[in-house]
Amino acid sequence: MKRAKEISNRLGQDRKTLLYIEEVAYQKSFIDALKNDGYPARGMPTLGTNKESRLKTVSQYLENGQVFFPHRGTETLISQLLGFGAERHDDLVDAFTIIVGELFKNVRPPTRWPKNDYNNPESKPIFDGILDMDF
């Protein structure tokens, strides 16, 4: 509980960040406790699907180049994603599928990606510099 509150406070800078929490078993009471303490928390039902199905659902966004990882700070997540099924731990895979699914639930992949003119200093990719950020 303490760690969730710290994350919400730190990421939100001057306001509390919404926390997405897998809605299973005892975690439902965790969501209620956070809300009672004034933290925005949303339960994310698994809808009876397993981790593998949820990962397959969001993998299209990785394959389409719509999800980027910074150079530092996501090594454990990437290890769990690449070793899924063989890795001992996979909690970050759950968190990843929840947030990517939520981010893209109303977005359809483009049929054609726009080209960037790298010779033009005014033209920058949307995520320019994000890979160099520390998380």
Asked if 35 and 66 sit in the same domain, the reply is: no
134 strand-pairing partners = 72
Neighbours of 44 (CB within 10 A): 19
Name the residue range of residue 107's domain. 49-135
Task: Check whether residue 62 and residue 101 sit in a common domain.
Answer: yes
DSSP class of residue 18?
P
Same domain, 57 and 123: yes
pLDDT at 123: 47
Percentage above 70 pLDDT, the chain: 78
Domain total in the chain: 2
CA nearest neighbour of 99 among 2, 11, 25, 35: 11
Residue 104 to residue 99: CA distance in whole angstroms: 9
Q: What is the pLDDT of residue 49?
A: 79
65-115 residue pLDDT tens:
888 888 888 899 999 898 888 877 788 888 899 888 888 887 765 555 555
In a shared domain, residues 72 and 111: yes
> Could you tell me the pLDDT band of residue 126, with boundaries at 50, 70 and 90?
very low
Pinpoint the alpha helices (H) of 13-122: 27-36, 51-63, 75-82, 91-103
Statement to judge: residues 129 and 65 lie in one domain: yes
Flag whether pLDDT at 18 surpasses 80.
Answer: yes
Residues 69 and 98 in one domain: yes
Both 40 and 54 in a single domain? no
